[in-house]
Amino acid sequence: MGRKLPLGIQGFQKLREENFLYVDKTEYIEKLENGLNIIIIPKQHTKKKYVIWGTHFGSIDNRFIMPKTEEEVFIPDGVAHFLEHKMFEQENGVNSLYKMMALGLDANAYTTNDHTAYLFGCTDNFYEGLD
């Protein structure tokens, strides 16, 4: 008989006693000096690794208050999506996506109304992909 999904189960004791399926998603969270939050969710028995970089800057973010002058500044709609694409450009003109694909990484990016994210997944060349 297969293991049951723990829908609506709140306690670990019942999960163990009644043989419910349980996946440990213990997180390690660290905030870097530059304010970037790092969250690591280890997954046992898997070879694939994923990275997602995200920023709280999306398509609705077009009005800002400058910190020093408190002046209100407006930017054109679409800047977040434009910058999403520009992030893959390197100074030498090479597109980072092509370099990542050459390493065997599956890379992409997306912009929503409130954030922009860059991601890749792979089984090999993980640390090279971080460069």
Q: Annotated catalytic sites, by residue?
A: 84
Report the C-alpha gap between 60 and 113 in whole angstroms: 5
Cα 11–chain centre separation: 29
Report the C-alpha gap between 65 and 69 in whole angstroms: 8
CA distances from 52 to 5, 29, 74, 121 (A): 27, 14, 28, 9
